[in-house]
């Protein structure tokens, strides 16, 4: 992490990239950590493919997105968890749009608020409940900064086979934009999310980003953690 002085001009240029509805729409769509094609993003934002490509080129050049090609398709994704955290934090400070325009949109908003992915970790009511459960069970401490306890590392060893050795923080608190409270990010948050998917305790929902706790998860998770899960 850069701890030196920040160039105000560089900060202004970075902020300007998200001060555009189309580019902000792209980043919010990509916050689930998966890759989208330029065409998918264009349809999602309601813009022409040429317009989408121009915006994506700017985001890639600035290091907010990365691209990969598969066949004739170009896929884009967020450049990393720090970018996702920036977008999620900005979204947390914005009041939700009043009055969803349709019943379908209302139901989708409810599903996202209940459980979703935030890049590579779990968010929404589910993510906050898991964070609270880890703290309540003494697996995660917030007393002197956020950290896993010895019991917490053993718990992750049993659930996820340990934590990967990466350059990212082991634990990080990510402000949830719907709950306005913290969920768990960092290497531990990613490992928890992956383990729950691998065990079949959560699965992708009807939207690209929402997830749901399966029947197996409703049985298994409360046996391992003090947690109140979102209703099925």
Question: pLDDT tens for residues 72-88?
Answer: 778 898 988 888 888 87
The size of the chain, in residues, is 232
The SS3 call for residue 54 is helix
Residue in 174, 189, 176 with CA at minimum distance from that of residue 121: 189
Q: What is the pLDDT of residue 1?
A: 46
Q: What is the pLDDT of residue 126?
A: 95
Contact of 113 with 178, CB cutoff 8 Å: yes
- Which residues, in sequence order, are bridge partners of residue 140? 148
Residue 3 has pLDDT above 60, yes or no: no
| DSSP at 35 | -
- Domain annotation for the chain: domains and CATH numbers: 8-79 (1.10.10.10), 103-224 (no CATH)
pTM of the shown model: 0.68
Average of per-residue pLDDT across 198-205: 94
């Amino acid at each position: 992490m850069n701890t030196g002085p920040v160039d105000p001009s560089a900060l202004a240029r970075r902020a300007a990239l998200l001060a555009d509805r189309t580019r902000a729409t792209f980043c919010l769509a990509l916050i689930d950590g998966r890759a989208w094609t330029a065409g998918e993003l264009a349809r999602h934002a309601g813009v022409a493919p040429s317009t989408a490509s121009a915006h994506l080129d700017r985001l890639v050049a600035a290091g907010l997105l990365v691209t990969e090609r598969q066949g004739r398709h170009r896929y884009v994704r967020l450049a990393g968890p720090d970018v996702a955290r920036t977008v999620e934090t900005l979204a947390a400070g914005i009041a939700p749009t009043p009055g969803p325009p349709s019943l379908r949109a209302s139901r989708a908003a409810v599903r996202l608020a209940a459980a979703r992915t935030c890049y590579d970790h779990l968010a929404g009511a589910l993510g906050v409940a898991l964070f609270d459960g880890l703290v309540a069970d003494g697996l995660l401490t917030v007393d002197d900064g956020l950290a896993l306890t010895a019991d917490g590392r053993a718990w992750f060893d049993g659930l996820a086979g340990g934590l990967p050795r990466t350059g990212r923080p082991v634990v990080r608190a990510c402000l949830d934009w719907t709950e306005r409270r913290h969920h768990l990010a960092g290497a531990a948050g990613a490992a928890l999310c992956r383990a729950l998917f691998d065990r079949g305790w959560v699965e992708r929902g009807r939207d690209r980003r929402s997830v749901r706790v399966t029947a197996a998860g409703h049985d298994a998770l409360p046996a391992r953690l003090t947690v109140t899960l979102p209703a099925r």
